[in-house]
């Protein structure tokens, strides 16, 4: 699924060459891809002048074909792996960066695993680097593996409260309730100091502003660079640095173990067939028609 610079907002399914294996990468036959909001957002972006076309998609699960010579991990041809890619995933053959790919355990399907790539990287960097939460260390008690020993508070539509609780949330609030932020502040006795805003709109930033403690020592991290309405809360922009990659290398090993032991559950997948349906899927996502599930396409 290729997007050309002359066609902003559109993509086409077309033949392109199989990518040439690079030393730090793994060549993979794609089995399932998940659609991430960033896919339609990227489709709508204006290209950099030097780029003529891009392959869309960032999350995939598949089978190892060939391993680059700098990838010193225990992958071999035929292994089932999951990962994320900046070079695109909506294709039959793709390149996944070797050090941040993960094995898929036998009891997890390609479709389930494909939902993990972007989320794992986001959690690793946002929680364990910018918010500096304690990284779970194995072996520890099961409760703490799930939560790093912290209370988890989240927001969603009421129809998804049960799903979020089943994934480890201790408390869930309806983000359409204008009081949700202040309810979280009172639940946390005005002591909440760390927030990750995965939605990153002015409305979600306001919920976070209302929820964070009135003491000026809070830290607000969001994924899209939205402004925090409170000037007393710390935020900022963190450019990518080599330490991010070092953290990811450790985090994927931990994630593989959590997945293997059944301690990490994937998001529910709505599975569909074929790359050609992805454009419609991206449109559904853009229009907010997908709730409590990831759209996954079998390649």
Ligand X SMILES: NC(=O)c1ccc[n+]([C@@H]2O[C@H](COP(=O)([O-])OP(=O)(O)OC[C@H]3O[C@@H](n4cnc5c(N)ncnc54)[C@H](OP(=O)(O)O)[C@@H]3O)[C@@H](O)[C@H]2O)c1
The binding site for ligand X (CB under 6 A) comprises 36-38, 41, 118-119, 122, 155-157, 160, 175, 198-200, 204, 207, 223-224, 291-292
Cα angle: 235, vertex 178, 224; to 5 degrees: 30
Q: How far is the CB of 177 from ligand X (least distance, A)?
A: 10
- The 3-class SS string of 169-236 reads CCEEEECCCCCHHHHHHHHCCCCCCEEEECCCCHHHHHHHHHHCCCCCCCEEEECCCCCCCCCCCECC
Q: Which is nearer to ligand X, 68 or 268 (CB)?
A: 268
Integer-rounded Cα radius of gyration of the chain: 20
Q: Which is nearer to ligand X, 30 or 155 (CB)?
A: 155
Q: How far is the CB of 239 from ligand X (least distance, A)?
A: 15
| Distance (Å, whole) CA 122 – CA 137 | 19
Residue of this chain nearest to ligand X (CB atom): 118
Tell me 4's DSSP state. E
Find tokens 């053959």 and name the residue. Answer: 93
Question: What ranges make up the beta strands (E) of 40-115?
Answer: 53-55, 59-67, 80-84, 93-97, 102-103
Q: How far is the CB of 41 from ligand X (least distance, A)?
A: 5
Q: How far is the CB of 45 from ligand X (least distance, A)?
A: 12
Q: How far is the CB of 60 from ligand X (least distance, A)?
A: 13
Written as one string, the DSSP assignment of 19-41 is PPPPTTEEEEEEEEEE--HHHHH
Q: Which is nearer to ligand X, 22 or 198 (CB)?
A: 198
Q: How far is the CB of 32 from ligand X (least distance, A)?
A: 16
Q: Which is nearer to ligand X, 122 or 193 (CB)?
A: 122
User: Are the C-beta atoms of residues 85 and 60 closer than 8 Å to each other?
Assistant: yes
Tell me 289's DSSP state. -
Q: Which is nearer to ligand X, 204 or 255 (CB)?
A: 204
Q: Which is nearer to ligand X, 67 or 184 (CB)?
A: 184
| Distance (Å, whole) CA 42 – CA 44 | 5
Q: Which is nearer to ligand X, 62 or 119 (CB)?
A: 119
Pairing of strands 59-67, 25-34: antiparallel
Q: How far is the CB of 197 from ligand X (least distance, A)?
A: 8
């Amino acid at each position: 699924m290729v997007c050309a610079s002359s066609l902003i907002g559109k993509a086409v399914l077309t033949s392109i060459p199989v990518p040439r294996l690079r030393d730090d990468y793994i060549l993979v036959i794609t089995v399932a891809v998940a659609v991430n909001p960033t896919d339609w957002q990227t489709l709508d972006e204006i290209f950099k002048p030097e780029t003529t076309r891009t392959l869309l998609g960032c999350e995939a699960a598949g089978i190892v074909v060939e391993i680059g010579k700098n990838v010193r991990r225990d992958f071999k041809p035929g292994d089932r792996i999951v990962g994320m890619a900046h070079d695109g995933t909506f294709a039959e053959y793709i390149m996944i960066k070797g050090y941040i790919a993960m094995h898929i355990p036998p009891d997890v399907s390609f479709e389930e695993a494909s939902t993990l790539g972007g989320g794992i990287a986001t959690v690793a960097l946002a929680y364990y680097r910018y918010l500096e939460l304690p990284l779970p260390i194995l072996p520890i008690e099961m409760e703490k593996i799930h939560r790093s020993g912290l209370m988890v508070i989240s927001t969603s539509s009421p129809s998804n409260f049960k799903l979020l609780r089943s994934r480890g949330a201790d408390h869930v609030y309806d983000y359409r309730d204008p009081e949700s932020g202040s309810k979280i502040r009172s639940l946390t006795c005005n002591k909440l100091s760390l927030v990750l805003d995965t939605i990153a709109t002015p409305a979600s930033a306001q919920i976070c502003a209302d929820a964070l403690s009135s003491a000026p020592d809070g830290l607000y991290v969001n994924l899209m660079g939205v402004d925090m309405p409170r000037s007393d809360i710390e935020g900022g922009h963190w450019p990518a640095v080599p330490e991010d990659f070092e953290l990811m290398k450790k985090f994927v090993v931990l994630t593989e173990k959590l997945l293997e032991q059944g301690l990490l559950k994937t998001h529910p997948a709505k599975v569909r067939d074929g790359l050609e349906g992805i454009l419609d899927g991206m449109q559904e996502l853009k229009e907010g028609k997908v709730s409590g599930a990831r759209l996954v396409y079998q390649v």
